[in-house]
Amino acid sequence: KYQGPSFEQLKTLRQNFLNPALTTYYSTPLALHQGYKQWLYDINEKRYLDMFGGICTVSVGHSHPKITEVVTKQISTLGHVSNVYYHPKIHEYAERLTQKLPGNLKVVYFVNSGSEANDLAILLARAHTNNFEIISLRNGYHGMSCQTMSLTANSLYRYPVPQSAGFYHAMNPDVYRGIWGGKYCRDSPVQTLRNCSCSTNECEAKTKYLEQLAEIYQYSIPRKRAAAFFAESIQGVGGAVQYPKGYIQGAYNMVKEFGGLFVSDEVQTGFGRTGDHFWGFEMHGIIPDIVTMAKGIGNGFPLGAVVTTPEIAKSLTKAAHFNTFGGNPVSSAVGIAVLDIIEEEQLQENSKIVGTYLLEKLEKLRDQFSIVGDVRGKGLMVGVELVRGDGSTTPLSPEKVMKFWENCRDLGLIIGKGGYFGNVLRIKPPMCVTKADVDFTISVMKKALEEI
């Protein structure tokens, strides 16, 4: 039973002492105090189905008993030593993590967040290639440190202060909102309804977006030599945007042609979430030079990592590189437990089965409600675009999206919201959700759609 400060007291504390730029999502903020698996409980003991997983972070379920057990055991044995010393957990974890990666991705740097991971990837790429420029995709999100804010290409998250030099943003290959469409062109059980002139096999939209990327090399980048190209395998904060098939492969080839490294940001798409594969980049048929990860890696514990090849890692030995908390014994114990749980509970497989079931049900809602413009995603990384319902892609008004969203919450369902216009519902639950949870989600969404 909850015995902490009242809602009003929490409100006052928040107003007085916490970051005022932080949104509290709902008009009456949710005050949560307990969680178990896919369930959350507020301070009045009301239960919610969590289909957002702490923003795609709670991968194996809230308060998983195995994680509680390993944290308790590790913290009471040796809570912290930095990794200038040997300690068995970090060594064991580094080996376990690399066993999940293909190719020569064998060297791990542990950090504490996604922003830190991407910051380090920028440094690695520059140190290795001796190039400076970095390219990423518009509408992408890679973090909020000064450097990753420059990598992020969503103006909602960019401050009016000088950004780091050397960052370029390529046109976003978005088959729903983009100007070239892409009817059959994304790797999802659901296809877009937008027309495009290509056949099912060779996507014309892909070719046009790659031409735009080539123009950045040609016109903007000195000597046409960039240090790296960064992309999420499916855009997260940007609203589950999927690229036309073959785009990432084409971008990879181009990056190689111009002497750079390909960095896959797997902060949201890693650890089995996309179902078919453990890593999102695998659906694009590439092996990146650097992979960055956070969120689901620790099921909510502050942990992140950068994995690269021994050759690239060697370039970072020009000076010392150190991180106090990265891979500390408790984080490493949690990281190992997360890998174990994903395997033991077959959560990647569950993402595929339950995610596909969810997408099929959402597709039916799309066909039933004209304001559901697009349904997309893979596994349990899903997006639903709410639009005006006049056949265009014009986003639904923020007031109506908000009403829909708050109705869902009142009915006991938590889902996310994102995309540049704030009209994309983001569904990324803990990977232990069931088909019954999907049925509940759909029935609540249907009611909330009928109301608006």
Residues that bind ligand PMP (CB under 6 A): 113-115, 118, 141-143, 232, 236-237, 265, 267-268, 294
Instruction: Tell me whether residue 56 or residue 432 sits nearer to ligand PMP (CB atom).
Output: 56
In the 3-class helix/strand/coil scheme, how is the chain assigned residue by residue? CCCCCCHHHHHHHHHHHCCCCCCCCCCCCCCEEEEEECEEEECCCCEEEECCHHHHCCCCCECCHHHHHHHHHHHCCCCCCCCCCCCHHHHHHHHHHHHCCCCCCCEEEEECCHHHHHHHHHHHHHHHHCCCEEEEECCCCCCCCHHHHHHCCCHHHCCCCCCCCCEEEECCCCCCCCCCCCCCCCCCCCCCCCCCCCCCCCCHHHHHHHHHHHHHHHHHCHHHCEEEEEEECCCCCCCCCCCCCCHHHHHHHHHHHCCCEEEEECCCCCCCCCCCCCCHHHHHCCCCCEEEECHHHCCCCCCEEEEECHHHHHHHHHCCCCCCCCCCHHHHHHHHHHHHHHHHCCHHHHHHHHHHHHHHHHHHHHHHCCCEEEEEEECCEEEEEEECCCCCCCECCHHHHHHHHHHHHHCCEECEEECCCCCEEEECCCCCCCHHHHHHHHHHHHHHHHHC
Min dist. Cβ of residue 320 to ligand PMP (A): 23
| Residue showing the smallest CB distance to ligand PMP in the complex | 114
Instruction: Tell me whether residue 61 or residue 300 sits nearer to ligand PMP (CB atom).
Output: 300
Instruction: Tell me whether residue 250 or residue 270 sits nearer to ligand PMP (CB atom).
Output: 270
Instruction: Tell me whether residue 43 or residue 265 sits nearer to ligand PMP (CB atom).
Output: 265
Instruction: Tell me whether residue 196 or residue 303 sits nearer to ligand PMP (CB atom).
Output: 303
Min dist. Cβ of residue 265 to ligand PMP (A): 5
Min dist. Cβ of residue 380 to ligand PMP (A): 15
Min dist. Cβ of residue 272 to ligand PMP (A): 16
Min dist. Cβ of residue 116 to ligand PMP (A): 7
Instruction: Tell me whether residue 121 or residue 286 sits nearer to ligand PMP (CB atom).
Output: 121
Min dist. Cβ of residue 120 to ligand PMP (A): 12
Min dist. Cβ of residue 279 to ligand PMP (A): 13
Instruction: Tell me whether residue 114 or residue 395 sits nearer to ligand PMP (CB atom).
Output: 114
